[in-house]
Amino acid sequence: MPTQNTGALAGVKIVDLSRVLAGPYATQILGDHGADVIKVEPPQGDETREWGPPFRDDDGARGPSSYYLNINRNKRGLALDLTKAEARDVVLRLLENADVLIENFKIGTMERWGMAYETLSQRFPKLIYCRISGFGADGPLGSMPGYDAVLQAMTGLASATGTPESGPVKLGVPIVDMTTGLNAVIGILLALHERTHSGRGQFIEVALYDAGISVLHPHSGNWLWGERIPKLIGNAHPNLAPYDLFQTKTRPIFLGVGNDAQFRKATAVLGKPELADDPRFKDNAGRNANRTALTQILAGLFAQLDGLKTATKLLEAGVPAGPLNQVNEVMNDPQTKARAMVVEKDGYKGVASPIKMSRTKSSTRMTPPDFGADTNAVLKEAGYNDAQIARLVQQGAIVKKIP
């Protein structure tokens, strides 16, 4: 029995021409919350299908990679060769009753194909057009390509990550791509809301470069207000102390103290309450100025304690703290299960939407589409008959399998 669409975006139709991560991540979020997402892939497929192992299948056919599967559920799949005019005509047909178009082609490609926003908006005035790009269309780097790790370096994120021994390092997750995807979702929702008043669509651009800068907090503010360049301080915080990872007898735990009351509670749990009255550590400014001495004292205390037990006692006392978990521990954690953060459907497994809504709940209605799996259904919905579909296949506009 099909899963019911209970999402807030039920009835919203999205034509998704994007590939790789930022765009597909954005459209999965929208699909999770009810939007009808039509994923249009090029003849060679979304390149992330090959970004493995692991792959879904290990037989001769080898199904898509876990990377692709993790960001492409709740979509219907269609494969078109947009270099052909007939394929672009299919997209135009799909846009006749679509609300949103999202793409991340190199800037100039959609213009060359006659599908720039300025052109489409004349024909579809209610269309919301979202473009994801590396650097935007203007500025000295306008129209240049960009990948997550490159942008982590260019936007200063890597300069604030690492230790003096390691040097600058990128984050272990594609934070720029995913932040770009989240901002694309925000932009689309803003435009959908505004359209209820104006009746008009609009153009949205989200650049990886801009998104990278947007999450440079607090280092961007530290520079703008104090011209402070971040130092490589590992797991520590540039503005707070103690806020760091500490090794215990069993496993590392992270202690995050955000105010004086939390510091006093933490010192009591650690069996050293007098630290809270030490003039060096009486407030955050003092703890920051004397962080080396404080870190040495705390490291000595933690080294004598059990990690999980201590983290639990700190949490129960109202102090943010937690163990350093591996991915397998996170996926199997009772808290993860209680929050229903892993979804399963027809053999598919994925990370659920973190947005919990009381009435319009997210749902997993469709597993990630195999290449072109919904081509005929989507085209017949758009008014094509069998003969027309066969002609498009013969012309090479529709692609049935990856070459």
**Homologous superfamily of domain range 13-215+338-395:** Crotonobetainyl-coa:carnitine coa-transferase; domain 1 (3.40.50.10540)
Express as a percent the part of the chain with pLDDT over 70. 98
Any idea what DSSP says for residue 277?
Answer: G
Average pLDDT score, the chain: 95
Q: Where are the alpha helices (DSSP H) in 63-129?
A: 66-69, 85-95, 109-112, 117-123
Q: What mean pLDDT do residues 301-324 have? A: 96
Lowest-confidence region among 136-140, 200-204, 293-297: 136-140
Q: Phi/psi zone of residue 72: left (φ > 0), alpha (ψ -120 to 50 degrees), beta?
A: alpha
Q: Is the pLDDT of residue 308 over 90?
A: yes
Q: Report the predicted TM-score, pTM, of the whole model to 2 decimal places.
A: 0.93
Fold entry, domain 253-323: formyl-coa transferase, domain 3 (3.30.1540)
253-323 has the same fold as 13-215+338-395: no
Residue 184's pLDDT is: 98
Residue 279's pLDDT is: 95
* Residue 53 preceded by cis peptide, ω within 30: yes
Q: Is the pLDDT of residue 1 over 90?
A: no
Contacts of the segment 194-200: beta carbons below 8 A, 24+ positions apart:
195/126, 195/128, 199/125, 199/126, 200/125, 200/126
Domain ranges in the chain are 13-215+338-395, 253-323
347, two tokens? 């053999």
Residue 60's pLDDT is: 47
| Contact criterion met (CB below 8 Å) for 207 and 133 | yes
Residue 106's pLDDT is: 94
Q: Which three-class secondary structure state does DSSP give residue 112?
A: helix
Among residues 16, 32, 46, 177, the one annotated as catalytic is: 177
Express as a percent the part of the chain with pLDDT over 90. 92
Tens of pLDDT, residues 199-235: 999 999 999 999 999 999 999 999 999 999 999 899 9
Q: What mean pLDDT do residues 282-303 have? A: 96
Of the pLDDT bands very low, low, confident and very high (cuts 50, 70, 90), residue 143 is confident
Tens of pLDDT, residues 91-127: 999 999 999 999 999 999 999 999 999 999 999 999 9
Active site residue 370: no
Tens of pLDDT, residues 41-93: 999 999 999 988 888 876 545 679 999 999 999 999 999 999 999 999 999 99
Residue 49's pLDDT is: 93
- Max distance between CA atoms of the chain, in angstroms, equals 84
Angle, helices 307-316 vs 260-269, to 10°: value is: 140
